[in-house]
Structure 1
Amino acid sequence: MDILIIIGLIVAGIILFLIEIFVIPGISFAGVGAFICLIYANYFAFSNLGNTAGFITLAASAIACVSTLILFMKSKTLDKIALKKNITSTVDNEAELSVKVGDTGISVTRLALIGMAEINGHHVEVKSVDGFIEEKTPIIVNRIAHGAILVERQKQTTI
């Protein structure tokens, strides 16, 4: 009867261990349960069956964990549950493509370095090179770098 309890605890520990590794990654109930089952199986073997049986149980549980992990990884089970879809969609950046250096517009939101502006009738995300720019302030496109539109306050011309 003691051997059946030990075998049951080791099997439960291995199942919870595999669930922890492949289904619920991170430290969760399954990982804690696997740890408790395997430790208690070894403790039970040492306390009830003696040192020899305890060391045999310790070796058997270590070998069982490693071998089932390797067997599960080499099986095609992971291929069946793996994500194989590639993302082919793109972001609609038609408005950003229509903006050129020197275009003028008005800030729609406060540009706390990044915000929204209306340039050429399009609402686009812009970055300020002048620091904070309040909303409804005239702006001019300074440069476009790596898809980011950099703007500054439009200088007031005096006549």
Structure 2
Amino acid sequence: MDVIIIIALIIAAVILFLVELFVIPGISLAGISALVCITYANYYAFANLGIGAGFITLLVSAVACIGSLIWFMRSKTLDKLALKKDITSKVDRSAEKSVKIGDTGISTTRLAQIGYAEINNKIVEVKSMDGLLDEKTPIIVSRITDGVILVEKHKK
């Protein structure tokens, strides 16, 4: 009966270990449960079956974890789980083409670094160079870099 308990704990630990590595990223309940199962299986073997059986269980549990990891990585299961779709979308840069340096407008939202402004009767996303600007503040386009429209408070 003791051997069945140890085998069940090692199998559960290996399954939870694989789930932790390939399904649920990060440290989660599966990883903690795998650690608890493998630790308790080894403790149980040392406590109930003796030192010799304990070391054998320790060796078997290490080989089972490493072997299952190698087997799973070589199997086609990992290919079935992997994403194979390429991202083909592109950033919308139409606002950059319609706005030029020196254009003036008014902020439509509060610019806590980034917000929206109306420039040339178009609502565009802008970034404030002057820090926080309140809504309905007159602005002027000072730079356009990598699709980001940089504005400053317009001093009339």
What's the TM-score, normalizing by structure 2?
Answer: 0.89
Q: CA deviation at 1:96?
A: 2.6
Aligned to 1:86: 86
Give RMSD over aligned pairs.
1.8
The C-alpha deviation readout for 1:59-108, integer Å capped at 9, x for no partner, is 11111111111111111111111011111112333123210112122222
Provide the aligned length of Structure 1 versus Structure 2.
156
Paired residue secondary structure (1:56)? helix
Task: Report which stretch shifted further, 96-105 or 49-58.
Answer: 96-105
Q: Could you say which residue in structure 2 is the equivalent of 1:26? A: 26
* Residues 60-71 of structure 1 aligned to structure 2 (within 5 Å): 60-71=60-71
Match in the other structure for 1:2? 2
Shift of the alpha carbon at 1:56? 0.7
Deviations 1:32-56 (A, max 9, x none): 2211221121112112211111111
- Secondary structure of the 1:129 match is strand
> Sequence identity of aligned pairs in percent?
67
Q: Which runs of 5+ in 1 are unaligned?
A: none
Distance 1:61 1:151 in 2: 62
What is the match of residue 55 of structure 2?
55
Counterpart CA distance in 2 for 1:124 and 1:38 is 56
CA distance in 1, matches of 2:122, 2:73: 51
Return the letter of the residue paired with 1:134: D
Cα distance in 2, alignment partners of residues 101 and 56 from structure 1? 74
- What is the distance in 2 between the residues matched to 1:113 and 1:146? 16
Distance 1:113 1:10, change over 3 A: closer
TM-score of the aligned structures, taking structure 1 as reference length? 0.87
Opposite residue 50 of structure 2, the aligned amino acid is: G
Most deviating of 98-107 and 136-145:
136-145
Look up the match of 1:113.
113
Q: Runs of at least 4 residues of structure 1 off by over 3 A?
A: 130-134
Where does structure 2 lack aligned partners over 5 or more consecutive residues? none
Q: Match for residue 75 of structure 2?
A: 75
Distance 1:56 1:102, change over 3 A: same
Which structure would you say has the larger Rg? Answer: 1
Q: Distance in 1 between matches of 2:146 and 2:136?
A: 26
Q: Please give the alpha-carbon distance, in whole angstroms, between the structure 1 residues aligned to 2:40 and 2:135.
A: 65
